[in-house]
Amino acid sequence: MYTLAKFVRQCGYIKPNFASRIVEESLGNGGFTRPYQSIASQVLYGKWNDLPKKVQHYVQDNVKLCKPDTIHICDGSDRENEMLLYILQRDGMIKPLPKMDNCWLARTDPKDVARVESRTFISTENMRDTIPVVKNGITGTLGNWMSPDDLDTELNMRFPGCMKGRTMFVIPFSMGPVGSALSKIGIELTDSAYVAASMRIMTRVGKKVLKTLGNGDFVKCLHSVGAPYPLKEPMVSNWPCNPKETIIAHLPERNEICSYGSGYGGNSLLGKKCFALRLGSILGRREGWLAEHMLILGIENSKGEKKYFAAAFPSACGKTNLAMMKSALPDYKITCVGDDIAWMRFDKDGKLRAINPEAGFFGVAPGTSMKTNPMAMETISRNTIFTNVAETSDGGVFWEGLEGEVSRTTKIKSWLGVEDWHAEQGKPAAHPNSRFCTPAAQCPIMDERWQDPEGVPIEAIIFGGRRPEGVPLVYEAFNWQHGVYIGASMRSEATAAAEHKSKVIMHDPFAMRPFFGYNFGHYLEHWLSFQQKQDLDLPKIYHVNWFRKDKNGRFMWPGFGENSRVLDWIFRRVNGEDCAVQSAIGNLPRKGSLNLEGLQEDVDMDALFSIPKEYWQKEVKDIGKYFDEQVHEDLPPEIMKELRSLEARVNSM
Ligand SMILES: Nc1nc2c(ncn2[C@@H]2O[C@H](COP(=O)(O)OP(=O)(O)OP(=O)(O)O)[C@@H](O)[C@H]2O)c(=O)[nH]1
Ligand SMILES: O=C([O-])CC(=O)C(=O)O
Ligand SMILES: [Mn+2]
């Protein structure tokens, strides 16, 4: 009988820990590197000659450097996916979830669960290209710069021989629909089958990409878990990584990304944050477009009138949930174009057009339920890789927020492997940054134009964050420049998406603080530049806050599907409806203009929309200090002008 196991064996895949040993035995030379034969003979899967010359050179250079035992050239086929999953399962990195359809659970080393911002660097000749020059004596918080020489030293300490005993996967991928003028191609080299299987979901992978690429240029993405054989330390949860040596490096001048030591998605799926946001934002500035940490949604009313909005909220602050919400207002239908990243460009008619460069969702699991996000629940019911969630005794998944949706008799095993987990034990069942990785095409409300190579026209841009105090549910910018100021002054409670202590209120301008590819001051100039251009249809700009809390620490607004009430108000504003009143901070909904029909919960609207004067005076002061210290001389004067006008308006409240 022809089995997958047999096929995998025939291809020559051996367990990584045995690979080097076998090479060692067969060579009888103490296990040092295998004598250099031809690179083609190292290829277990795929054809070396199918690779364009430039790609061959890139692979060749890095095979010499990283010394993998074998090479796999990804073609994106279903059969390949079965192999990847088989290998991952065999190596104990994932296990099947039999209650679901082709779903898998990965548990990481608990030291490798989130993005590591402190180890993320951008390297350019000129420091000021990358980060603002901060005020004397202040530590910068708007990105980490490293000189190319220093970075080379860091990389040379890590990459040589880093893939020994492992297979190198060569992943040709397209960010954006293959062949669209707005899309870009990358090649990721990785020694992680988990990354290969996830990239297949998150991006468009395969032969078509190579064909489109031809001998053109691509973004070079090198990734290693940093755990060559023989291992220096035993693996935890069969999850290879190297947290002590982790580094995520960007070399925009060489169109290159090098990530070492972490297998976690945000650090290892290099098409996402590293390429689509950090390098993307640099390209955007150079070429006159925008790469943003934004969801894209479609909203259609009962008259068949349709608009598209983009929204930037920091990590784990509600993009996925807004992008695929089920509207509480029966008059509206929401459709999803993307949940995390938007590439946007003004077209020849002056309309801002957006594409979602991704093909999947790498979404936060906790909090997702039939009640809060039924569309996500449907999406993740099949072909999904879960990471660091808890599992149920009947072969399903569990996380905080699903309490009402599992039967009382099922037992729960926590993400750390604690059997018979109970909430009373005081630790969460799932890691707060546990994620699902799932194909976008499976979402029942994908917009009919989500893969449109032209992109969709954006009519409103929404900023927001977790603001427990002082910030109303929604307000509207007076104009583009004021809107850019609002984006620049964004703040939010830290979340588990990165290594920061959660609940601290952090500045997170444009929800891009961890993702700026270049100097934030220059980024602001780029945004402001659009108001000088003739005949652009500039979208209206808003700020929302679903996370205001009352005295008892409870959310004042029910959120999720009820957020459609805010989208409705924005929709009508974009249509020019007179339903706003001016306030010191922006335009607020006129009393009674927010549609509250059918709202089940009692909401104290006055409290939800209040703008406490002292709070805002402090806010203005904090933001002024932040700009002065962190952006300093790189702050465009227009932004300071906006801050001063806000201050004057707040003082005269
Ligand atoms: N209270 C409340 N919580 C929300 C709301 N929307 C989302 N959340 C919760 O916030 C958390 C993160 O939400 P996501 O939508 O996954 O965040 P995201 O912005 O897509 O995050 P990244 O993928 O990290 O960029 C989840 O636990 C959600 O359940 C809301 O309207 N109200
Ligand atoms: O990159 C990640 O790990 C997931 C994500 O969307 C974010 O953190 O904003
Ligand atoms: Mn994100």
Q: What is the pLDDT of residues 505-563, one digit of tens each?
A: 999 999 999 999 999 999 999 999 999 999 999 999 999 999 999 999 999 999 999 99
Q: What is the pLDDT of residues 304-351, one digit of tens each?
A: 999 999 999 999 999 999 999 999 999 999 999 999 999 999 999 999
366 CB near ligand 1 (under 6 Å): yes
Mean pLDDT of the chain: 95
Q: Which of 70, 5, 52 is nearest to 213 (CA)?
A: 52
Tell me the pairing of strands 247-251 and 219-224: unpaired
Coil, helix or strand at residue 510: helix
Q: What is the pLDDT of residues 376-411, one digit of tens each?
A: 999 999 999 999 999 999 999 999 999 999 988 999
ipTM: 0.99
- Residue 470 confidence (pLDDT) above 50: yes
Regarding predicted confidence, which is higher, 37 or 520?
Answer: 520
The pLDDT score that the predictor gives to residue 639 is 98
- Write down the pTM of the prediction: 0.96
Which of ligand 1's atoms lies nearest the C-alpha of 433? 24
**Burial degree of 214 (CB within 10 A; 0-12, 13-18, 19+):** exposed
Pocket of ligand 2 (CB under 6 A): 115, 265-266, 272-273, 315, 340, 362, 497
First-to-last CA distance in the chain? 80
**Nearest protein CA to atom 4 of ligand 2, as residue:** 266
The catalytic residue positions are 317
Which of ligand 1's atoms lies nearest the C-alpha of 363? 23
Token match 């099922």: residue?
A: 410
- When pLDDT is cut at 50, 70 and 90, the band that residue 29 belongs to is very low
Mean pLDDT of 494-514: 94
**Burial degree of 396 (CB within 10 A; 0-12, 13-18, 19+):** buried
**Nearest protein CA to atom 16 of ligand 1, as residue:** 364
- 649 Cα: distance to centroid of ligand 3 (angstroms): 34
The pLDDT score that the predictor gives to residue 16 is 65
- Residue 7 confidence (pLDDT) above 80: no
- Residue 615 confidence (pLDDT) above 80: yes
Q: What is the pLDDT of residues 77-116, one digit of tens each?
A: 999 999 999 999 999 999 999 999 999 999 999 999 999 9
